[in-house]
């Protein structure tokens, strides 16, 4: 069996590398754009919480301290922010305009 260049050196059935798959790379870039647009559209505190938690990797306690939030408020803000980002992704892939 002759393998194309991206397939060379891999065992049959081995998953393709994402970096060498143009379709996956394009979809990843598209998804990243959708996510960032949704994050940028969030209200201020929701945006701050989701960036600190999900992008920068801070823990709950750290985010509460940095932003001066109660644990409950931080949880609610994060939940709402993630729900809005998820809705934007779902709308994008279902063809809806947001």
What is the per-residue burial (b if ≥16 Cβ within 10 Å, else e) of 45-72?
bbbbbbbbbeeeebeeeebbeeeebeee
CATH 3.40.50.11710 fits 44-98, yes or no: no
What does the pLDDT read at residue 95?
79
What does the pLDDT read at residue 58?
97
Euclidean distance between CA atoms 19 and 13, whole angstroms: 17
Q: What is the mean pLDDT of each run of 10 residues along the chain (98 residues)?
A: 48 56 68 94 98 96 97 98 95 74
Q: What pTM does this model have?
A: 0.70
Domain locations in the chain?
Answer: 44-98
């Amino acid at each position: 069996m002759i393998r194309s260049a991206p397939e060379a050196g891999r065992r049959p059935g081995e998953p393709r590398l994402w970096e060498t798959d143009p379709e996956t790379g394009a979809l990843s870039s598209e998804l990243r754009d959708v996510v960032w647009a949704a994050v940028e559209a969030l209200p201020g505190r929701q945006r701050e919480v989701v960036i600190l938690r999900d992008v920068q990797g801070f823990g709950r306690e750290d985010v509460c301290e940095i932003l001066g939030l109660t644990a409950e408020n931080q949880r609610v803000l994060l939940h709402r922010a993630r729900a809005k980002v998820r809705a934007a992704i779902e709308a994008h892939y279902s063809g809806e305009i947001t």
